[in-house]
Structure 1
Amino acid sequence: MARRSTIEKFNEMLQDIMDSKLLFGGKLVVLGGDFRQTLPVILKSTKDDIIDSSIVMSPLWNQLTKIKLEINMRALFDSNFSSWLLKIGNGTEATNKENEITIPARINIPFTDDITSLNVLIDMVFPNITDSNLDISLFVKRAILTTRNEFVHEINDVLINKFPGEETIYYSCDENTSSCIIPDQEDLFHYFTPQGLPPHKLTLKINSPIILLRNINPTEGLCNGTRLLCKGFNKNVIYAEISVGTHAGKPVFIPRITLESPHNDFSSVPFKRKQFPVRLCYAMTINKAQGQTLDFVDVYLKEPVFSHGQLYVALSRAKTIDQIKVLIRPSTALAQNTNCTKNVVYREILDAAHIY
């Protein structure tokens, strides 16, 4: 979801271009969003900071015409599932005193230990992944969703090792842009994978699924979040095929480009990385999965969801409840009941932001 400041600047730009004080310079602008989903991400912020950055707190909000969509088209053929998702999104699903909701037993994978349970999860979403005659269509609309990038990297590393075929490895070229690191210490950057950047070591195989991290050519379907299948490798180009959307099946070439680490990233100092702007997407973060429709979803909660709307987004990627499995790694708080998970209540956000 875009921050209010982005939309306000867009309004000012159109007013300047059209030389008009009308809203958006008198142009018709359609904004789409779901406040049940994750709100703007602000590092090291408080709940009040996140709410204040939302469009509902902007002076533009009262000037907009609100149109509500009432039918969940993704879950159109499973009304009970659709109703359950709305309860989670609206914060009306029953919770205990710890603000945890119970995941139905039919979609809950019992936890035994980290390795065994993860392998069970992998076998459910990607059956027979080691088979050389594997049906590649399984990878087009299946994924494991989890909360943090570090968990995503762990799962992707496990899956690319299981995936049949000869691996191709691409190493990035990292360049210092800060006076904090002297030139002969630039190898330190290889250990960093800031948000939005590809890894230093990118391991790929023919037919492995990848996801774009940058807008390259949106008109041709190459935009941030596009999922592709690898079809060939060259030194500075990856030959791939778009796997979803209106451009599905279209062959494309992904170049190696220079990317900069986010200026607000607190996990590393600023640097440049020359690498292909892609990552493996057997697994994705819940936030990255927003807008995706999947045929089968495994939700791996190594820790409880930590942001508003994450649980709702994760569960609502599927079309029916039978297309979801959830693995919850118990912590001290969850030790007595391993099919409970946190629910960041939407109702609290509504009250605070005065959306309606």
Structure 2
Amino acid sequence: MRLQSGSSNCNIDEIREFSNWILKIGDGIAECENDGEIDLKLPDDILIKNTTDPMAIIVHSTYPSFDKNFRDLGYLQERAVVAPTHYIVHMVNDYVMSLIPAIEQVYLSLEEISKDERNTEIHEVYSTELLNSIKCSGLPNHELKLRYGPH
């Protein structure tokens, strides 16, 4: 539905066909055998080919004129890059953040175990480096990058 807003009538059928294709994939009823893992043939018109920097192509096609619009909340809310893993999400976020012309400040989580929990087994089993590298939904990252500068 979001794709259809602001589209011309000639694009609506194409958008509807793409939306139905995506829904079939999400529902597990794509046009190929599905035993929990499938090889899906993507249409040529949505593939990125012959590029040395696919991240730049994805971000610049999703956020055209980013340098002029990154302060516009509506501009950012109307766009999204969908990624298959948290690792890719973080790569995209880092790339987009690097495009913002501002001073970067990095904040790190505390690297100490609470005095009450120092004798627990988790401290002995998992290294600080491993714990700091975990990036998953529901758990804050060890590293928080913020950018600030003139408005």
Once residues 140 and 74 of structure 1 are traced to their aligned partners in structure 2, the CA distance between those partners, rounded to angstroms, is: 12
Corresponding residue for residue 181 of structure 1: 123
RMSD (Å) for aligned C-alpha atoms: 3.5
**Do 2:102 and 2:148's aligned partners in 1 also have CA atoms closer than 8 Å?**
yes
Partner of 1:204: 146
Q: Match for residue 7 of structure 2?
A: none
**Following superposition of structure 1 onto structure 2, how do residues 12-27 of structure 1 map, counting pairs within 5 Å?**
none
Tell me if the contact between 2:107 and 2:143 (Cα under 8 Å) persists in the aligned partners.
yes
Is 1:134 paired with 2:69?
Answer: yes
Q: Summarize the Cα distance change of 1:94–1:139 in structure 2 as closer, same or farther, 3 Å threshold.
A: same
Q: Which amino acid aligns with 1:109?
A: I
For the residues of structure 1 that align with 2:43 and 2:57, how far apart are their CA atoms? 18
Contact 1:168 1:204 (C-alpha < 8 Å) held by counterparts: yes
Equivalent position to 1:143, from 51, 75, 80: 80
Distance 1:149 1:80, change over 3 A: closer
Residue by residue over 1:167-220, the C-alpha shift from the partner in whole angstroms, topping out at 9 and shown as x without a partner, is 2322211332433436xx97536633242222222111249xxxxxxxxxxxxx
* Distance change (3 Å), C-alpha of 1:101 and 1:175: same
The equivalent of 1:167 in structure 2 is 104
Distance 1:81 1:163, change over 3 A: same
Amino acid paired to 2:43: P
Tell me the alpha carbon deviations over residues 9-66 of structure 1, each in whole angstroms, 9 at most, x when there is no partner: xxxxxxxxxxxxxxxxxxxxxxxxxxxxxxxxxxxxxxxxxxxxxxxxxxxxxxxxxx
- Aligned-partner Cα distance in 1 for 2:106–2:77: 22
Which residue of structure 1 lines up, in the alignment, with residue 48 of structure 2? Answer: 109
Report the structure, 1 or 2, having the larger helix content.
2
Structure 2 stretches lacking a partner, 5+ long:
5-11
Query: Which residues in structure 2 correspond to 1:59-78 (within 5 Å)?
Result: 78=15
Letter in 1 for 2:63: F
Aligned pairs (5 A) from 1:1-356: 78-95=15-32, 99-113=38-52, 116-129=53-66, 131=67, 133-135=68-70, 136=72, 137-176=74-113, 177=117, 178-181=120-123, 187-188=128-129, 191-195=132-136, 196-206=138-148
SS at match of 2:80: strand
Deviations 1:75-114 (CA, angstroms, capped at 9, x unpaired):
675432343234334444433898423222222221544x
Contact 1:171 1:201 (8 Å CA) reproduced:
yes
SS of residue paired to 2:111: strand
CA change 1:175–1:186 in 2 (3 A) is farther
Work out which structure has the larger RCO, using CA pairs closer than 8 Å and 6 or more positions apart in sequence: 1
Q: Secondary structure at the match of 1:143?
A: coil
* 2:84 aligned partner, one-letter code: T
CA distance in 1, matches of 2:106, 2:20: 45
* Residues in 2 aligned to 1:74 and 1:155: alpha-carbon distance in whole angstroms: 22
Q: Please give the secondary structure, in 2, of the residue aligned with 1:170.
A: strand
Give the fraction of aligned pairs with identical amino acids, expressed as a percent. 26
Aligned to 2:21, what secondary structure does the other structure show? helix
Length-normalised TM-score, structure 1: 0.30
Q: TM-score, normalised by structure 2?
A: 0.62
